Amino acid sequence: MGLSVKLLKRVKGFTLDVEWEIGNEVAVLFGSSGAGKSMTLQLIAGLMEPDEGFIRSNGNIFFDKSSGINISPQQRSLGYVFQDRNLFPHMTVRENIAYGLKRKSREERDTRVDDMIRQFRLEGLENMPPSEISGGQKQRVALARALIERPKALLLDEPFTALDSPLRFEMRKLLQEVRNEFDIPVVLVTHDFEDAYLLGNHILVYIDGRVEQVGERDDIFLRPQSIRVAQFLGLKNLFRAKIMRKDEHLHRLILEVDGLQFSISADSGRRPVEVGMEVDLHVRPDEIMILREGKFVKDSLKQNIFEGEVLDIAGKERYQTVYFQTTSGNILFEISIPNYAFRNLNLSVGKIVSIALRDESLWVMS
Amino acid sequence: MAVAYLLAMKNFRGKEVLDIIFTLPLVLPPTVTGYYLIILFGRNGLIGRILYEWAGWSIMFTWYAAVLASFAVALPLMIKATRAAIESVDRNLINASYTLGHSEFETAIRVTLPLAKRGIVAGAVLSFARAMGEFGATLMVAGNIPGKTDTMPISIYSHAGSGDWSKANLMVIFFSLMSGVFLYIANRFTKRIF
């Protein structure tokens, strides 16, 4: 079912080596530019040939090195939509959509094109050249053209990057409709965090030509598997830590970062860890509590309380970022606090305060 | 056009050599080009001999030869311009056509060439103007037979040589005007592209 690929491709100074499988769903290839996402789409579409591997989709074999199968891009019947510059500038909207059709009788052509124009809300634009319609309309035309022959899969290369945010919202909805109606695998390439988060029930993180992690959005954004994924996501408060001892009774581990000890739940991580191992510790900025003076502190928080100084405060539109340095160990934390909580804390630069780390704030990668 | 398409779209061994061979007439003195044409099409030339044995006819010193010479010197301009025009077509659009199920030939006819049209037309106008003005190679292969193989540049040369200034003047003015018009047309077409 769906789409299943194993691809090895070497080009000058870069190697793509990936293997994944998706169902008839929207899957997001998420990574920075140059990670091999677009190359993956080109290989699937047949515009480039893999050195090794296979490409199969719902029972069709598009490519298989071992049995020498390599179907031409024309015969793979896949829908492929690029970031922009998709449409043929010398044809009208209607001609562009009709170009996606194979040879058909005139009446059938017309009804099919009319259907697509209605479905993608392009009425009234039929006879315009692409240069006179908006970016969102262009992408709708490109989708209509790619889908008119009911392709076996839909490949989208940064389809929303050129659009501004209200349009992107609309396009995301449209994409869900498309997926529901056509019931085909949709592979979407993006480097945009918001796109990946909002579209991706199934995200594949691409880093340097490899799939570094596969999972649902919370798996990726809240529970990154490796420091590489964490760094790609731009996560703050990443520390190298050593596991000092294990408390079997309480099911907790004691970690040390620059002489400062943290107590974490033995479950906070993806893989089992041993005493003596070096691991990467992520402290989520939005899960750190700044304690108000004289306020009662729950027992469960008492294990990770640190005193330190507020170094700086930076206001963002939805929250405040507090830069905090521990007195012992001089470890720098970035802390995100919602505005209402920030107002109650009476913080100022130079103030000495205590922070408490909830179990939810600590994540271990090994 | 086929040669230009090949040069623009494909990668193959000897591609640059082919490009150089087709560009050479642009930089060689016309007499050298004419000399090559004699070697190829002369009565004892590689192609000329076969032609002579088959048809008992040689192209040399006929108006066909003048056409051939003009063609040979104008070809590089045509190929260069067409190649550049085809290469300037967005690769994404060509790929889009392929993934929509259209063959390479169909894509060339319906997408690549229409989008390269302006550059190709400009190239054609330029090379036509160049062909009109051809002198050296024509003189080498077609000679200067009045009323038969004397192209306009050649007859200007003859008139000037024999002191017939009024005729020469008329032709020079006509020729300059016409070339100017061609350049204007070629510019009109290229401006929109670059």
- Measured CA to CA, the distance from residue A185 to residue A156 in angstroms comes to 11
Kindly list the strands in the beta sheet with A26-31, ordered across the sheet, starting from the edge strand earlier in the chain. A79-81, A154-157, A186-190, A26-31, A202-207, A210-215
Name every chain B residue with its beta carbon within 8 A of the beta carbon of A102. 101
Q: Please check whether residue A76 touches B, CB under 8 A.
A: yes
Residue numbers in A near B93 (CB within 8 A): 85-86, 88
Nearest-Cα distance to chain B for A75, in Å, is 6
Q: What is the DSSP string of A96-109?
A: HHHHTSPS--HHHH
User: pLDDT of A267-321, one tens digit each?
Assistant: 777 777 888 889 999 999 999 989 887 777 777 777 888 999 999 999 877 789 9
Distance CA A329, CA A260 (A): 6
**C-alpha–C-alpha distance, residues A37 and A192, integer Å:** 13
Whether B109 contacts chain A with CB within 8 A: no
pLDDT classification of B146: cutoffs 50, 70, 90: confident
Residue B189 Cα, gap to closest chain A Cα (Å): 16
Please give the interface size between A and B, counted as residue pairs whose CB atoms are below 8 Å apart: 53
Confidence bin at B76 (pLDDT 50/70/90): confident
Please tell me the least confidently modeled range out of A17-26, B2-11, B28-37, B44-53: B2-11
> What residue in B sits closest to A75 (Cα-Cα)?
B101
Length of chain A: 366
Mutate to test the interface with A, among B100, B103, B109, B121 (most CBs of A within 10 A): B100
Residues A207 and A224 sit within 8 Å (Cβ to Cβ): no
Task: Identify the pLDDT of residue A231.
Answer: 92
**CA atoms within a 13 Å half-sphere pointing along the CA-CB vector of B152:** 15
Residue A290 and residue A345 in contact, taking contact as beta carbons nearer than 8 Å: yes
Task: Decide if B153 contacts B137 (C-beta within 8 A).
Answer: no
pLDDT in tens, B54-64: 777 777 777 77
**Mean pLDDT on B82-103:** 89
C-alpha span between B54 and B57 (Å, rounded): 8
* Closest CA–CA distance from residue A131 to any residue of chain B (Å): 14
Does B92 contact A86 at a Cβ distance shorter than 8 Å? yes
Amino acid at residue number A186: V
| Residues of chain B contacting residue A78, judged by C-beta atoms under 8 Å apart | 99
Which chain B residues touch A76 with a CB distance below 8 Å? 99
Q: Give first-to-last CA distance, chain A, whole Å.
A: 33
d(CA A42, nearest CA chain B) in Å: 9
The radius of gyration of chain A's CA atoms, rounded to the nearest angstrom, is 26
Check residues A17 and B194 and name the one with the higher pLDDT: A17
In 3-state terms, what secondary structure has residue A12? Answer: coil
pLDDT of residue A323: 94
pLDDT at residue A186 in the model:
92
Please, what is the angle between helix A135-147 and helix A106-119, to 10°? 140
pLDDT at residue B194 greater than cutoff 70: no
The identity of residue A201, as a single letter, is N
Q: Which residues of B touch A90 (CB under 8 A)?
A: 114-115
Q: Which parts of chain A sit beneath pLDDT 50? A: none
When the pLDDT of each residue in chain B is averaged and rounded to a whole number, the result is 81
Test B95 with A102 for CB contact under 8 angstroms. no
A152 CB near a chain B CB, below 8 Å? no
Task: Please report which confidence band the pLDDT of residue B191 belongs to, taking 50, 70 and 90 as the band edges.
Answer: low
Alpha-carbon Rg for chain B in angstroms: 20
Which is it for strands A154-157 and A79-81: parallel, antiparallel or unpaired?
parallel
- Taking residue A286's Cβ as centre, other Cβ atoms within 10 Å add up to 13
